[in-house]
Amino acid sequence: MAEAHNPLEQFEIKTLIPIKIGEFDASFTNSSAFMVIAVIAATALMVFAVRPRAGVPGRWQLLAELSYQFIAKMVSDNIGKEGRPYFPFIFTIFMFVLFGNFIGMVPYSFTFTSHIAVTLTMALVIFVLVTIIAFIKHGFHFFSFFLPAGVPIVLAPLMIAIEVISYFTRPFSLSVRLFANMMAGHTLLKVIGGFVVPLGIFGVVPIAGLVAVTGLEFLIAFLQAYIFTILTCIYINDAIHLH
């Protein structure tokens, strides 16, 4: 009984199809299944909804166009013209995280963005890519990034230390923010849900709370995808323009 109501049970990774590649466990799990569902859903929206190529868009085509314009504007506002080549990558990140978060809101589904393994991998890939871009664009001049212009030379050691630490903690703050938000929200929903049946008739109170928190969770699902994406934009902008 206590086992079944464990609020963290929903985050359990369950192997659906065991696959082994050499030493590595590459099993198809519930997490993988929902990643595939997210890809299919995003593709359905972005590819099949715009099939009619209507001059006056229908509902779904409009949604796809708005997503495109939303991210295109984010890229041009935060990076400028040089951000153009990174637009597909940033757009894919947004869609992947957004659909992961939203599909996770469906009851009994699995939220792959609530796993640090997933978010940290994404954040590390972004971090490495951003650093590579910075080196390609600026060579060793990139290290000037760690000492903002106009800082008194006395403060230089301190500033460099702070900048280096803040630079290398980026992937962790980026990944933990998303994972912790998603996990906390889903755990909260589960905990409040656990009160409904034992309270009998007074269960309506936690149900009202559940409705409110579910609404909030939808907002957070979008907001975290937005934050994850815009921070990626800002990091790429830093790499291209330094300070």
Partner 1 sequence: MPQLDITAFSPQIIWLVITFLVLYVLMAKIALPRIGSILEERQARIDDNLDAAQSLRNESSAEAEAYEKSMAEAREQARSAIYDATQEMSADSARRHEELGTRLSGDLKAAEERISQAKEAAVAGIHEAAASVAAQATERLIGIEPADEAVASAISTALDTSVKEAG
Binding site for partner 1 (CB under 8 A): 8, 11-13, 15, 19, 21, 24-29, 31-32, 35-36, 38-39, 42-43, 46-47, 50, 53, 55, 57, 61, 64-65, 68-69, 87-89, 91-92, 95-96, 112, 114-118, 121-122, 179, 183
Closest CB 12 distance from partner 1, rounded Å: 5
Closest CB 5 distance from partner 1, rounded Å: 15
Collapsed DSSP state (helix, strand, coil) of residue 232: helix
**In this structure, are residues 35 and 100 in contact, taking their beta carbons and an 8 Å threshold?**
yes
Which one, 175 or 237, has the nearer CB to partner 1? 175
Q: Treating both helix axes as pointing N-terminal to C-terminal, what angle do 87-104 and 59-78 enclose, rounded to 10 degrees?
A: 130
Closest CB 67 distance from partner 1, rounded Å: 9
Closest CB 203 distance from partner 1, rounded Å: 28
Which one, 21 or 149, has the nearer CB to partner 1? 21
Burial of 116 (0-12, 13-18, 19+ CB in 10 A): middle
Which one, 178 or 206, has the nearer CB to partner 1? 178
Q: What is the DSSP letter of 11?
A: G
Q: Tell me the C-alpha to C-alpha distance, in Å, between residue 82 and each of 68, 85, 138, 179, 237.
A: 18, 7, 14, 30, 9
